[in-house]
């Protein structure tokens, strides 16, 4: 899918006579490694980003060859971004004219910062439920995910320790800023697995977003956990509601591949992508959480955006009690945590897929 659009126009609008003005760009490639995790439709996303930035962009999702020379820009989670920056696999953006304001917290919403990437968007792992199942009362906290008496029925959970353990601990009422500290201990992991054990016979594990969607469409589950974008897509035909209390917020970082031959073009693309108009378009069309604080204020002021805001993870109201996903923690303890999670998961007593 190609979009042969002029890059000169947005460069003049946003940068005037600055370093990017009048610089016509070639086609750029973006490796959006998190695309499969979010459930985003790549062709639709590619078309929207190309139209919003008025630049010629091709998007791929390649987790095996992340730093291939075929990619000019690379989207990573926070731990991957830090590692790539430390290894000089990404271009240092800290001294690039026109990009410095995009790395400031007063202008953008982000948790982790390094000199090589920008937080262009966020998505969330969250608890959600079909509204048809919640006629008289609705879940209020992560503890309700584990309350089979008040909210009977099966649960759809991802077949991974990421997210699953966090919700299990949150259900005890653990403060959000202590979740990862407690999970780093034997006691914390034991508590999390004990909570999961209490509903193990009610869990249907899913391995792909397509499986998750089908479980909800087939009305096999009362509550589910997964990417918020999946629940947003479903809600048009299968009305959904998201429990933002305890959402796991994930930063989508993007940087420039140090092996790219189009570094100036890539810098211009990043500068455009981070502005209000493209951020608004992505939020309005896909419910991706914008990081531009100006965009968030714009969304709050528009009456017609009200139905979208309830699905935007970075909307101020939805950020209350949000847990910023700590991928560095998961990467550091992956061999220990996953080993114990898989051991528990493979024991008898669950429904499987």
pLDDT at 1 over 90: no
CA distance linking residue 33 with residue 225, whole number of Å = 21
- In tens, the pLDDT along 99-135 reads 888 888 899 999 988 999 999 999 999 999 999 888 7
Worst-scoring range by mean pLDDT, 5-14, 48-57, 339-348? 5-14
Give yes or no: residues 33 and 146 share one domain.
Answer: no
Distance between CA 323 and CA 127 in Å, rounded?
Answer: 13
Span 225-282, pLDDT tens digits: 999 999 999 988 999 999 999 999 999 999 999 999 999 999 999 999 999 999 999 9
Q: Please indicate, yes or no, if residue 169 is contained in any of the structural domains.
A: yes
| Same structural domain, 143 and 184 | yes
Regarding whether 87 and 12 lie in a shared domain, the answer is yes
Tally Cβ neighbours within 10 Å of residue 247: 27
194 shares its domain with 337: yes
Average pLDDT, rounded, for the chain = 88
Q: Does the residue 1 lie in any domain?
A: no
Mean pLDDT of 148-170: 95
- The band of 3, judged by pLDDT with boundaries at 50, 70 and 90, is very low
Query: Do 149 and 281 fall into the same domain?
Result: no
Question: Is 308 within the bounds of a domain?
Answer: no
Residues 150 and 222 both lie in one domain: yes
* Residue at 201 is within a domain: yes
Q: Are residues 152 and 268 in the same domain?
A: no
State how far the Cα of 70 lies from the Cα of 259, in Å rounded to an integer: 9
Is residue 320 over pLDDT 50?
yes
- Model confidence at 25, pLDDT cuts 50, 70, 90, reads low
Residue 321 domain boundaries = 124-249+315-345
pLDDT value of position 19: 42
pLDDT, tens only, 52-69: 999 999 999 999 999 999
The rounded distance, in Å, linking the Cα atoms of 309 and 302 is 10
CATH of residue 60: 3.40.190.10
pLDDT for res 136 = 80
Token code pair at residue 115: 């000199």
Domain identity same for 193 and 240: yes
Residue 31 scores a pLDDT above 90: yes
The stretch 84-92 carries a mean pLDDT of 96
């Amino acid at each position: 899918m190609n979009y042969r659009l002029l890059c000169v126009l947005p460069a003049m609008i946003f940068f005037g006579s600055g370093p990017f003005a009048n610089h016509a760009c070639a086609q750029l490639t973006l490796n959006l490694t998190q695309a499969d995790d979010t459930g985003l439709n790549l062709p639709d996303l590619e078309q929207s980003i190309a139209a919003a930035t008025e630049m010629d962009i091709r998007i791929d999702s390649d987790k095996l060859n992340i730093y291939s020379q075929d990619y000019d820009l690379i989207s990573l989670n926070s731990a991957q971004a830090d590692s790539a920056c430390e290894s000089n696999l990404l271009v240092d953006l800290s001294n690039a004219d026109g990009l410095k304001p995009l790395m400031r917290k007063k202008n953008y919403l982000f948790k982790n910062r390094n000199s090589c990437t920008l937080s262009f968007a966020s998505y969330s792992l969250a608890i959600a439920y079909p509204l048809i199942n919640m006629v008289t009362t609705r879940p209020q906290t992560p503890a309700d995910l584990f309350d089979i008496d008040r909210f009977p029925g099966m649960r759809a959970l991802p077949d991974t320790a990421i997210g699953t353990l966090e919700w299990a601990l949150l259900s005890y009422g653990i403060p959000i800023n202590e979740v990862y500290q407690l999970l780093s201990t034997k006691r914390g992991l034991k508590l999390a697995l004990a909570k999961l054990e209490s509903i193990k016979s009610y869990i249907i594990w899913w391995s792909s977003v397509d499986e998750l969607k089908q479980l909800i469409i087939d009305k096999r589950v009362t509550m589910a956990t997964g990417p918020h974008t999946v629940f947003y897509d479903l809600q048009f035909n299968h009305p959904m509601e998201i429990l933002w209390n305890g959402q796991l917020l994930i930063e989508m970082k993007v940087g420039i591949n140090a092996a790219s031959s189009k570094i100036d073009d890539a810098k211009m693309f990043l500068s455009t992508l981070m502005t209000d108009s493209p951020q608004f378009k992505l939020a309005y069309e896909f419910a991706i959480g914008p990081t531009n604080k100006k965009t968030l204020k714009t969304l709050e002021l528009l009456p017609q955006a009200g139905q979208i805001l309830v699905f935007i993870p970075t909307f101020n109201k939805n950020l209350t009690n949000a847990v910023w996903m700590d991928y560095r923690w998961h990467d550091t303890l992956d061999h220990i945590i996953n080993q114990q999670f898989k051991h528990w998961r493979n024991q008898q007593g669950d429904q499987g897929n």
